Amino acid sequence: MNSKPKPAVAADKPIGVFDSGMGGLTVLHALREHLPHEHLLYLGDNARLPYGTKAPGTITRYALQAASHLVERGIKLLVIACNTASAVAMPELSRRFAPLPVVGVVEAGAEAAVRASGSGHIAVLATESTVRGGAYERAIRTRRTDARVYSQACSLFVALAEEGWTQGPLVEAVAREYLHPMLDEKKREGLDCVVLGCTHFPLLKNTIARVAGAGVTLVDSSEIVALAVEKILQASNIKRIGGPAGVRFLATDDTERFARIGSVFLGQSIESGNVELVDL
């Protein structure tokens, strides 16, 4: 009697998630919520963060090294949970690791923004490299040709999130400084959507929303990424259906700090003993 193929072997492989540090844990949180039976392997390249101020060639090299490490561990799908790496290195990552499915946060964020915006006037808050490369503008205008996109580099948001400073007078003052140009000059033209174009920024979501004001929708791509991953897994017949799931953490520097700050991003405690130190 012929035996049927066993997709469970492939299904049991983990989903690899990569970020330059701890910000991508917001994406990991969304993946756990939407896909509770999936094994997850998270790599934070905290030894070399932030990527947002690096040159494109350096970002691509770092991203390839991190992704290669996850691929060598036998993942079934790769999530680029770093907006900067997604904006700069996505074409090379997809080419290098084909046919492995690769999902980036920029495309997901652009899709969500176009759905959320009625006017088509969208602001993108991101890192310097993401803004400079224009990836969000291209992705948004591909989906809506009449879109008006205003981008603002917000590097201090990364530092604030890393320190766990998510609210208070200092955080609000920084948010007002960054959002001031678009609120004064752009809101009169119908700005109705702000994309949080860095996985660190959801930690500051309440403050940013308060400064942006009523009538402006904030878009966090984490949920959209999780839905995109689920769709790919189902189409490829490699979605894990049941059973307990495991999460493993890898970091390239200071596992204790990774665990401490990472717990804030993930929304639950991470023990430093559960974070493996790796050398890329």
3-state secondary structure of 141: helix
Identity of the residue numbered 30: A
Give Cα 98 distance to the centre of its chain. 21
Residues 160-200: tens digit of each pLDDT: 988 889 999 999 999 999 998 887 765 557 899 999 999 88
- The model carries a pTM of 0.87
Active site residue 154: no
pLDDT over 90 for what percent of the chain?
A: 79
CA distance 10 to 29: 23
Quick check: 25 and 266 in contact, CB under 8 A? Answer: yes
- Cβ atoms < 10 Å from Cβ of 118: 9
The one catalytic residue among 77, 93, 126, 198 = 198
Compute CA distances 182 → 112, 154, 171, 221, whole Å. 20, 13, 18, 21
Digitized pLDDT (tens) for each residue of the chain, 280 residues in all: 455 554 446 899 999 999 999 999 999 999 999 999 999 999 999 999 888 889 999 999 999 999 999 999 999 999 999 999 999 999 999 999 999 999 999 999 999 999 999 999 999 999 888 899 999 999 999 999 999 999 999 989 988 988 889 999 999 999 999 998 887 765 557 899 999 999 889 999 999 999 998 889 999 988 889 999 999 999 999 999 988 999 999 999 999 999 999 999 999 999 999 999 999 9
Active site residue 198: yes
The one catalytic residue among 82, 89, 102, 108 = 82
H/E segment holding residue 193: strand 193-197
Integer-rounded Cα Rg, in Å, for the chain is 19
Sign of the CA dihedral running 97, 101, 105, 108? positive
Residue ranges and CATH numbers for the domains of the chain are 8-104+223-277 (3.40.50.1860), 107-221 (3.40.50.1860)
